[in-house]
Amino acid sequence: MTIPLTLIEDAIGWRRQLHAQPELGYQEVHTSRMVAEQLRRFGLQVHVGLAGTGVVGTLENGPGPIIGLRADMDALPITELGEPIHKSTTPGVMHACGHDGHTAILLATAQRLSETRRFKGTVHFVFQPAEENLGGARKMVEEGLFTLFPMDEIYGLHNWPGLPVGHVAVNSGAMMASLDAFEITLNGKSCHAAMPENGADPVVTAAELILALQTIPSRRLSPLASAVVSITQINGGEAINVIPEQVTLRGTVRCLQDEVRSKVRTLIDDFVATLPVPFGVEGSIVWYPGYPVTANHLQPALNVRDAASGIYAAENVHWEVNPSMASEDFACMLEACAGAYFWIGADGTTPSQPLHNAHYDFNDALIEQGIKIWCQLIEQRMPVSQ
């Protein structure tokens, strides 16, 4: 499959424009406008405003399957430390996860398919806001994504540092972990730090609780289960000579199986309720459910593998790789519609910086690869001869 050089150059230009003007979740006003304008230029039907700044472009080409392709559009609240010529012009905000590249790839795919039309059916190009922790996928679903735009399948890709350009990885099941956040409050009794016997120390209790929670993955779950429990914030106290009244802990849980996710939450609840009691401290917890496991459906995952195998050598198509314990809100779309999520290699001659790193920059060399696999998937799933 050959992609015109002019289209690749245009896509690189779009990508760098988006990188220079990053926008946080639900604030993708410029990005949304630019995407909608380009889709209209390609002759697609365009729907704007889903989940605030979401955009859906529709390309119809006769009767046939209805397939969705999704790209995320939002940036991260990170100050860019690299020095590309297209460096972020927005202080404290940058595209550190490659959503600028995903958006450019999908736009270029929409243009290419609108020109070639070597498929029969309908393609919905879904440009999603607020993937980073804000649940834009869930909001699009709640606001009627699959009601307004019924789909037989939906697919999403993500650039993947650690995998070379020209490689693809996909699983028949879990690709990414679930995400839940929590806030634990420990209420004790304040007193002079020199007289701890007169109070109930939530700081010591917090230290014991943090260590106890780490026994959940190591001692309360099977070694074959996958779970991470991380405390990421501790807040409490105002003076060095006062034991505080309250300490707050915040953290996250990541799991690869739904039953493990449920068990871990129950165990954390039990620890928070019971461990503080001997210290004279009361514990409570508030959960902030995030994303389910990003679990592929078998046939769509096989469709991705088959499409990739039509472009790359067999050794470059990786099937049943180790899932990531990071999370992805495309999981919410996969709960509502059959589909698959896959990784496309990002490492060139120089390995890519990690995702969410202040020096990260999307590797433009994989834009052509992304367009190819999207086009191959559509043309293979929706052949003209059907």
Bind-site residues for Mn(2+): 97, 99, 132, 158, 356
Task: Please enumerate in sequence order all residues whose Cβ is within 8 A of that of 90, keeping only pairs 6 or more positions apart, or say none.
Answer: 21, 22, 23, 75
**C-alpha span between 37 and 32 (Å, rounded):** 9
Nearest to 290 by CA among 234, 330, 259: 330
Q: Mind spelling out the 3-state secondary structure of 326-355? A: EECCHHHHHHHCCEEEEEEEEECCCCCCCC
H or E element in which residue 232 lies: strand 227-236
**C-alpha span between 12 and 2 (Å, rounded):** 17
Q: Which residues are annotated as a binding site?
A: 97, 99, 132, 158, 356
Complete DSSP assignment for 185-222: EEE-B-EETT-GGGSB-HHHHHHHHHHHHTHIIIIIS-
Q: How many CA atoms lie within 13 A of 239 on its CB side?
A: 9
**C-alpha span between 232 and 234 (Å, rounded):** 7
- Decide if 105 contacts 14 (C-beta within 8 A): no
Q: Helix (H, G, I), strand (E, B), or coil: what is residue 72?
A: strand
Residues written for the chain: 386
- Decide if 209 contacts 249 (C-beta within 8 A): yes
**C-alpha span between 123 and 118 (Å, rounded):** 12
